Structure 1
Amino acid sequence: MLRFCFGASGSGKSTRLYNEVIERSMKDLGTNYIIIVPDQFTMQTQKDVVRMHPSHAIMNIDVLSFGRLSHRIFEEAGLSSFSVLDDLGKSLVLRRVSDILGDKLPIIGKNMHKPGYIDEVKSTISEFMQYGIGDEGLAILEEKSSKKGALNAKIKDLRLLYSEFLAYIKDKYITTEETLDVLCGAIPSSKILKDSVIVFDGFTGFTPIQYRVIKMLLAVSKEVVVSLTISPEDDPYTGFFEEQELFMLSKKTVYDLEKLEYSLLQEQGAIGVPSFEAYRNARNEEMSKNPKSGDIFITDKTVKRLENNPSLAFLEQNLFRYNANKFTADTSGIEIFRAQTINEEVRQALIKISDLIRDGGYAYRDIALVCGSLDSYADIISNQARKFDIPVYIDKNSSLLLNPIIEYITSAINIVILGYRYEDVFHFMRSGMSDFSPEDTDLLENYVRALGIKGRKQWEDRFMRRMPKRFATARKSEKASEKELELLQKLDQMRDAISSSLKPLADSKKGTVKDITKALLTVIESNNSKEKLDAYRDKFKAEGDLKKAREYDQIYDKIMTLLCQMDGLLGDEKIDLSEYKEILSTGFADIEVGTIPQDVDRIIVGDIERTRLCEVKVLFFLGVNDGNIPSNAGGGGILSDIDRQFLADATSNVELAPTPRQQMYIQRLYLYMNLTKPTDKLYLSFAELTSDGKSLRPAYLISKITTMFPNIHISRPEDGDFESQSVKLLDSRDKLSDMMREYANGFLRGQDKKNFLTLYKTIKDLLAENGDNSFIDKITDAAFKQYENRPLAKAIALTLYGATLENSVSRLEQFASCCYAHFIRYGLHLEERKEYEFDVSDLGNVFHAVLEKYTSEIMSGDIKWRDLPKEKSEEILNRALTECVDGYGETILLSNARNQFMIERIRRILLRTVDTLQYQISKGKFEPAFVEMDFREAGNIDEINIALSEDEQKNITEKMKLRGRIDRVDLYEDSDHVYVKVIDFKSGNHKFNVASLYYGIQLQLVMYMNVATAASRKMSNGKEVLPAAILYYHVDDPMAEGKNDLQPDVINEEIKQKLKMTGVVSEKTDVIQMLDDSINGKSDIIPVEFKKDGSLSSRSSTLSDADYGAISRFTEKKIREFGKSILNGNIEVNPYEMGDRSSCTYCSYRSICGYDESIKGYSKRNLDISSSDAMEIIKSEDN
């Protein structure tokens, strides 16, 4: 017999049915009473029935879902031997079948490897099974869509895939959906179900396969009772209903169930009425008049729960009804608020909850939160609730893709597939499951990156190579080498541990699924993965994070189940490791851990469809935004919204899941059921902006309710008074931190300042009660923090640098740029991680090395550079380049095609360079005398041995010894003089700037000349040594600009102008002519230009002997000052700003120094003096 229980949402249908079941079960102990509810409701329903039962125990009452009913009956019938293919297994089989079919699936096949796509396919296949659509049904859909090209192609693919999927699992597995078909076959012989009373509660409707089960239950049971939500004013028996009606689903379910019973009675030969309509009329008339054994009608106009809450009662009676009723009385039962962001919306909800708990006498279990989009809100609610110390339970399964064991397995497989890529190896080591410490992992990573180690062969060879010479610091003693060898031995042991642990996987990568699975299990078990996960579980338990503890407790078994399924389903399939990984990743994506509430007194957070709420007094409905309500659930599946609507309109023979339009109307029923759950208060809220600042609109539901309740005002509580926004200590601490900075900077005025001081005192007093002032001290120190330069103690500076400070000029320029950056680099020796790559600095190194070899060979030969034939020059250059390339940085230039292309680029640039340098030499009287001249070649001269301090006996106690190499020194001698020209090769474009010299950030060129002249004096035989020019040469191969038809000689002239050296030249005409003896107006060699009257143009870069002497002496003085400052412990954070340049721009230590202009005391030095003013100051100081 079929019965119904009708009533509005919250009218007490469940209570009425459970009481009836309890009462009848106590009188009739021989009858089984079975309550069937949706999966997620079983536990709560069991609790409710036990609580309601006088004995608080249920002997002949069982609470089951469709799935649990299947298991119970299968156990009874001895049908537990077959294997059920769950969602995980289904994904694995679909992936494999798709790979086998290949090009036979032109639409679906090419997308199967896209993330999430297989879930869409699986969902569609599951839908076919739930709705009883087989090959015949798909053939109808294929025919109906024959004129719809894309849709028809998709259905053809789905039909073939579905057919092959079923063939693949035939006689081996049944799907979860098919268990209900098997259940139908087992029901007739079940003693548990025979003459039982079965109650269906909590369903809004049923799928075709569920209807088939209900039909079989009707045949064997004494009674089947179904509860349905419908207003007392609506006729549940009507056979005519529109899809837009609120209770359409309930009316349709009544109609379908009655049709089911009618067909069953026909099959049993028990029908005494001529037609279905006649049967319905007779049945409904009889059942509606029999209050004891007929249908149950709960007809209270106002449901009892809402008798004392007129506004919520009105909402229940009028929501989504076609009337214009308005409620103008007290609306305190409903509140709507808005917030700027989702984060703020959640925060405001939690503030209101705190008020309710503190002032309203509510327990947390009396309150629930539902969200328009749980995915968008879950993490935010979880994080914010911790700040408010509010216990919440998120009713949502957790994905485990980021669990350490999955990261470990995935990276291990990637290492083997992709040939020991750097990213995969160190992902593996840092997964949280390896045995390597973070410190050892860092050491190995530095080594691997510096040497460019990759590929299985290199990882299986011993690590014996030292760090590349281009990176290595000076190895000063045998002890350092011993230490280095110990480190190499340690790194090699780590290498061996990694490659050995992965060897089984590497050896099996072309085997069967069984072979690979066995190897993977070896990798997992040899790593003691289970023990490590158990340790994580215990750690989380100890910290009180029971959700994480449950995740780590379940994950190992779930992975073992997945691997067993792969072995069972695909074991003998021969696939490569890449395919295996794709299938495994699909399985990992399906692994979820369901959790149960750990606390009795907590707030349930869920969505509007899945979450079961009971006895809720206050409901918060968050995220009532357009896009969430109605949800954008459609549109992304294999069958689009348009496809589904077309198929629904085209055929009535095949029933699919509801179309998006139907789903929208069904969602209204869920909204109605949720909004009518609370007995005391309903809060609705929406956000105005997304996290990235895009506007959000409220959902239609907001306007619907404000129309029904015109007196409701939409508030924005974040604009409220200060006290109302400072509720919980943790949340207020965040607010106090923000305000403290504003207070420290003097930004708070008037009431804001008073609010801050009130909050400060309140929190300080609260923390003081617990003896904890650290938070207040911490944020006060941070807010009022100011930078003070505190130099190192002299003793520490001497320990770091030594009493003899060995310095290069570039290091002193670094000190001038920022003292702190100098300290980090040269005092603490912190460096950026060394990489096996060829970068800009390497390009400069190669240029210098090749030019040194090239020039040295010429200078050691019989032919002068100016006379060198072009062919001979190219021969020498090619030889020098080959030697440098073969020996540079562990042959990095030969390591890949990109770098080998770089060799050709270097060759081209250097051919242009030596050609231009030869031209420049040939146009003057100077000859190269030194190349890569080491300062030590100058001997013991004062310019590089600088006294910094002396004792009372005039003994030098601290000194600085300068180190460096001058790229090229050219000399010209006449009868009385030696003229010196210094050239510094640069891979970038440099210009000499007296202002930069004045500030100490461009000392190099002048200092090079000082050393070169001092060295030349020792060899001058009494001749006067004079500086002629300090010059930069840009090593480049520029392009000529202009029309394509330029003549070669014009192109060459333009390129020579572009490669003209920059720097400073003596203003003496005779010296200029020594440098360029063919100058006529504008030189193409040096930065000199004559006007028509023979005088120097203002565009020339020249100095008099006196001025040059002044900058030379100034440079020596500046260098001495810097040396003293370094040994005096100056480590000031003092970056400079000069025009659009800043020493912070490319600084490697920005994350260390803490420079922040918003903190008092930090500021950049503005180097804004002009070169002419700098020159005047230098001269005045010299005088």
Structure 2
Amino acid sequence: LPARPPEDGLFSEDERELLAEQGMEMAPGRRRRLLNEQFLLYMALTRASHGLWISYPLADEEGGALMPSLLIKRLQELFPALNVETAENLSGPSTIVHPRQALSQLAVRLSEAKNGEQLPSFWWDLYNWFAVRKEWAGQGKRLLAGLFYKNSPAPLTEETTRRLYGRKIRASVSRMERFSACPFAQFLSYGLRLQKRRVYKLELFDIGRFFHAALHNLTVSLLEEGRQWGELTREECYRLAEDETARLVPRLQEEILLSSQRYRYLAKKLRDTLSRAAVFLAEQDRKSRFKPLGTELSFGADGELPPVVFTLRNGSQVELVGRIDRVDLARGEGGKAYLRVIDYKSGRTDLSLEEIYYGLSLQMLTYLDVLLVHAREWLGEEVLPGGVLYFRVHSPFIRADGLLPAEKVEREHRKQYRMRGVILADEEVARLMDTGLLQGYSEIIPVALDKNGKFYSNAPVWDAERFSLLRCHTRRVIKECAEAIMSGQVVIAPYRLKGEKACTYCDFKPVCQFDPLLEGNKFRNLQAESGERIWTALRQELRYSQPADNERLEQLEEKEGER
């Protein structure tokens, strides 16, 4: 206060003044709006008839320190005899000047009384004053109801759960991740099927769908022609991306990308991003022995692979279904086959061991598990896990102090398109993914080799045992989530992990009304754990609770020993 005028519009302040001097009528600029703000402040401060109270907060809602407005400094210069008092020292009848403000203070005092503090009779008299006046009685009742309100929904009954979900539910992995993040959000999204009101604008979700569809179509076309990504020239990548963009743009949210010049420009940006991604996918393919085996591979009743089925304690069944963006296959020495899962993302994503452990990121390991379990039926042979990786489709910005030569720009772009995730702790597999990797950092996968050709200690690699541990863990977590869903659990319990919160991007905040200040509304704080502690916990979990999975683990350990 005064508020800083937003820097909007096409013209700068100097350009506005120049146009105004030429006789053009312009909307108020930043300077004019700042003067208006000063004038409104002057009007507000000079309208008091008996006295003027000015208050300002010392901290924001989360406890962060706030600096007083420059207005406070100016008033202290004008009236040096003024003393600043803190609100803690201001209480009692002298602070009551208006019913609405008094009602707010009364709420605080009654809350203190509810917690066992002695309340002066004045505040009870004030409450009675509100109770006998019709114009304020309604607000007084709502105040009292709010004091005893608990934002804690009761669990669903068995009958309600059965009618809502049925005896057999078909669920996606993302549904289980949503439950792990907050059970109530899962209930609203998949139980009540609430959806955010759609508005006619392009959402991030739409952009992600566009890239998924485009890359799927391009890969399918290449496979049908018997070609590989690596056979495409840069010019072919541009042409195919342009053709695919022209085909998909009219289908995206009722032709929204054709509705205005702004959206047409955005369509060109999407085309350019897709072209650049295609170029680097082709380049990565030329340097890799891993080749696409399938794209948009579905598992479920009508999919290429069968669903994952869990039978719960109450006899209900959960059928897990999904769609895998891309599956690649490579053969190493001795003909051993390796599979890797690639997921296309338009945002920055990485694989977090903690998030897998807490059930917040189950997708990639579940996809890999499905492929490995059904490999013999699908491919006619056993395969080993090669890795799980994210390929980000984006237009990276290059930071530089000055102009860079084209070769260096290309090299920096190549780094930005390096895939993220985890691969098998086998240098042979790393070289299958990047045939040019002998020493140093790979430009394709997130690993580096030392001068002896070995992984560095902090490389994102897991051996076969660890992949097996996580596969078994994801099964257990998914089954536990399904058990909780079918038992009617709808508690409002968003997670918080190292500053990340389930509520940050949740669309259901207006529905759940989660407030950490309310009784019973607390974040479910997940403890940040080291990698070694998580691996130890996973081994103990497998030894004591999953005998069937334990056998699978021992078999994989034997295979790893043979290798």
TM-score (norm 1): 0.38
Q: Which has the higher contact order (CA 8 A, sep 6+)?
A: 2
| Match runs of 1:284-299 below 5 Å | none
1:1179 maps to 2:539 = yes
Closer/same/farther in 2, CA of residues 686 and 909 from structure 1, 3 Å limit: same
* Residues 965-997 of structure 1: per-residue CA shift (max 9 Å, x gap): 111101124665331110000001111001001
Counterpart of 1:985?
Answer: 344
Among 505, 523, 529, the residue aligned to 1:1164? 523
Shift, 1:741, TM fit = 2.2
Separation in 2, partners of 1:899, 1:1010: 41
Contact between 2:375 and 2:382, CA under 8 Å: does it hold in 1?
Answer: no
C-alpha distance 1127-725 of structure 1, shift in aligned 2 (>3 A)? same
Give 1:1141's match in structure 2, choosing from 491, 500, 503: 500
Structure 2 contact 305–378 (Cα < 8 Å) conserved: no
| Pair 1042,720 (structure 1): closer, same or farther in 2 beyond 3 Å | closer
Quote the residue 1:890 is aligned against. 254
> Which one of 1064, 1069, 1079 corresponds to residue 427 of structure 2?
1069
> Is the Cα contact below 8 Å between 2:164 and 2:191 reproduced in 1?
yes
SS of 2:351 mapped into structure 1 = coil
Shift of 1:825: 1.7
Match of 2:451 in 1: 1092
Residue 912 (str. 1) matches residue 282 (str. 2) = no
User: Taking structure 1 as reference, are residues 861 and 626 closer, same or farther at Cα in structure 2, changes over 3 Å only?
Assistant: closer
The aligned residue for residue 812 of structure 1 is 176
Question: Match of 2:83?
Answer: none
CA deviation string 1:452-495 (max 9, x = no partner): xxxxxxxxxxxxxxxxxxxxxxxxxxxxxxxxxxxxxxxxxxxx
User: For 1:351-387, what per-residue CA distance to the aligned partner results, in whole angstroms no more than 9, with x for missing partners?
Assistant: xxxxxxxxxxxxxxxxxxxxxxxx99xxxxxxxxxxx
Partner Cα separation in structure 2 for residue 876 and residue 1105 of structure 1: 38
Within a 5 Å distance, the mapping from 1:364-763 to structure 2 comes to 627-628=46-47, 685-689=50-54, 736-745=106-115, 748=117, 752-756=119-123
> 1:803 and 1:734 mapped to 2: Cα distance?
49
CA 1:721–1:939 in structure 2 vs 1: closer, same or farther (change >3 Å)?
closer
Residues 978 and 997 (structure 1), Cα distance of their counterparts in 2 relative to 1, 3 Å cut = same
Task: Give the Cα separation in 2 of the matches to 1:966 and 1:726.
Answer: 63
Query: Displacement, 1:744?
Result: 2.9
SS at match of 2:378: coil
Pick aligned residue for 1:822 from 183, 186, 191: 186
Inter-partner Cα distance in structure 1 for 2:164 and 2:198: 23
Q: Secondary structure at the match of 1:1123?
A: helix
Q: Is the 8 A contact 1:938 1:1012 kept in 2?
A: no
Q: 1:753 to 1:1044 in 2, by over 3 A?
A: same
Q: Could you say if the C-alpha distance between residues 782 and 1053 of structure 1 is closer, same or farther in structure 2, counting changes exceeding 3 Å?
A: same
CA shift digits 1:493-531 (9 cap, x unpaired): xxxxxxxxxxxxxxxxxxxxxxxxxxxxxxxxxxxxxxx
SS of the residue aligned with 1:1065?
strand
Q: State the match for 2:513 in structure 1.
A: 1154
Distance 2:203 2:97 in 1: 55
In structure 1, runs of 5+ residues without a counterpart are: 1-105, 115-374, 377-623, 630-683, 698-718, 951-956
Q: Is the 8 A contact 1:992 1:1064 kept in 2?
A: yes
SS at match of 2:177: helix
**Residues of 1 paired with 2:98 and 2:216: CA distance?**
71
1:779 positional shift: 3.4
Secondary structure of the equivalent of 2:51? strand
SS of residue paired to 1:806: strand
1:1011 CA displacement: 2.0
What code does the residue aligned with 1:935 have?
A: F
Summarize the Cα distance change of 1:758–1:1028 in structure 2 as closer, same or farther, 3 Å threshold: same
Partner amino acid for 1:686? G
- Structure 1 pair 736/846, CA: closer, same or farther in 2 (3 Å)? same
* Aligned residue runs from structure 1 range 839-988, under 5 A: 839-936=203-300, 941=306, 944-949=308-313, 957-973=315-331, 977-988=336-347
Deviation at 1:1036, TM superposition (A): 1.7
CA deviation digits over 1:211-265, x for unaligned, max 9? xxxxxxxxxxxxxxxxxxxxxxxxxxxxxxxxxxxxxxxxxxxxxxxxxxxxxxx
- Tell me, yes or no, if the aligned pair for 1:992 and 1:1063 is still in contact at 8 Å: yes
Q: Residues of 2 paired with 1:933 and 1:1095: CA distance?
A: 34
Q: Give the Å deviation of 1:805.
A: 1.6
- Distance in 1 of aligned mates of 2:90 and 2:419: 69
2:325 is matched by which residue type in structure 1?
D
Q: What's the CA shift for 1:1164?
A: 0.8
Secondary structure of the equivalent of 2:385? strand
Q: CA offset at residue 1162 of structure 1? A: 0.9
In structure 2, the partner of 1:1120 is: 479
- Does the Cα contact within 8 Å between 1:994 and 1:1175 map onto a contact in 2? no
Aligned residues of 1:856 and 1:931 also touching (Cα < 8 A): yes
User: What is the CA-CA distance between 1:1043 and the residue it aligns to?
Assistant: 5.4
How far apart, in 2, do the equivalents of 1:690 and 1:1083 lie? 58
- Contact kept? 2:206, 2:252, Cα under 8 Å: no
| CA separation of 1:864 and 1:113: change in aligned 2, threshold 3 A | closer
> What is the distance in 1 between the residues matched to 2:454 and 2:27?
76
Structure 2 SS opposite 1:906: helix
**Residue 1006 of structure 1, aligned match among 365, 374, 399:** 365
Q: Hey, what's the Cα distance between the residues in 2 that align with 1:841 and 1:1129?
A: 30
- Once residues 856 and 720 of structure 1 are traced to their aligned partners in structure 2, the CA distance between those partners, rounded to angstroms, is 72
- Indicate conservation of the 8 Å contact 2:372/2:382, yes or no: no
Distance 1:959 1:802 in 2: 9
TM-score (norm 2): 0.76
Identity in percent: 26
In structure 2, the partner of 1:801 is 165
Contact kept, 8 Å, 2:45 with 2:52, in 1: the verdict is no
Judged with a 3 Å threshold, the aligned counterparts in structure 2 of structure 1 residues 847 and 689 are, in CA distance, closer, same or farther, namely: same
Quote the residue 1:303 is aligned against.
Answer: none
Tell me the amino acid that sits aligned with residue 1174 of structure 1: I
The residue identity in structure 1 corresponding to 2:50 is S
CA distance in 2, matches of 1:625, 1:923: 70
Q: Aligned equivalents of 1:727 and 1:934: distance in 2?
A: 66
8 Å CA contact 2:297, 2:304 repeated in 1: no
The CA deviation at 1:1168 is 3.0
In the superposition, relative to structure 1, how do residues 853 and 685 fare at CA in structure 2: closer, same or farther (>3 Å)? same
Q: Which amino acid aligns with 1:972?
A: A
Q: Are the equivalent residues in 1 in contact too, given 2:298–2:305 (CA < 8 A)?
A: no
C-alpha deviation, 1:1148, in angstroms: 1.3
Q: Tell me what 1:994 maps to.
A: 353
- One-letter amino acid of the structure 2 residue matched with residue 1042 of structure 1: A
What is the CA-CA distance between 1:790 and the residue it aligns to? 1.9
Letter in 2 for 1:801: Y
Q: Distance in 2 between matches of 1:789 and 1:1052?
A: 55
Q: Is the 8 A contact 1:913 1:1035 kept in 2?
A: yes
TM-fit CA distance, 1:819 = 1.2
> One-letter code of the match for 1:1175?
W
Q: Which amino acid aligns with 1:1112?
A: R
Taking only aligned residues, the RMSD between alpha carbons, in angstroms, comes to: 3.7
CA drift of 1:111 comes to 8.1
**Cα distance in structure 1, aligned partners of 2:219 and 2:154:** 48
Residue 1054 (1) aligns with residue 412 (2):
yes
Given that 1:805 and 1:1123 are in contact with CA atoms closer than 8 Å, whether structure 2 keeps it comes out as no
Q: State the alpha-carbon separation in 1 of the partners of residues 324 and 465 from structure 2.
A: 24
CA contact (8 A) 1:994 1:1171 kept: no
Change (3 A) 1:988 1:628: closer
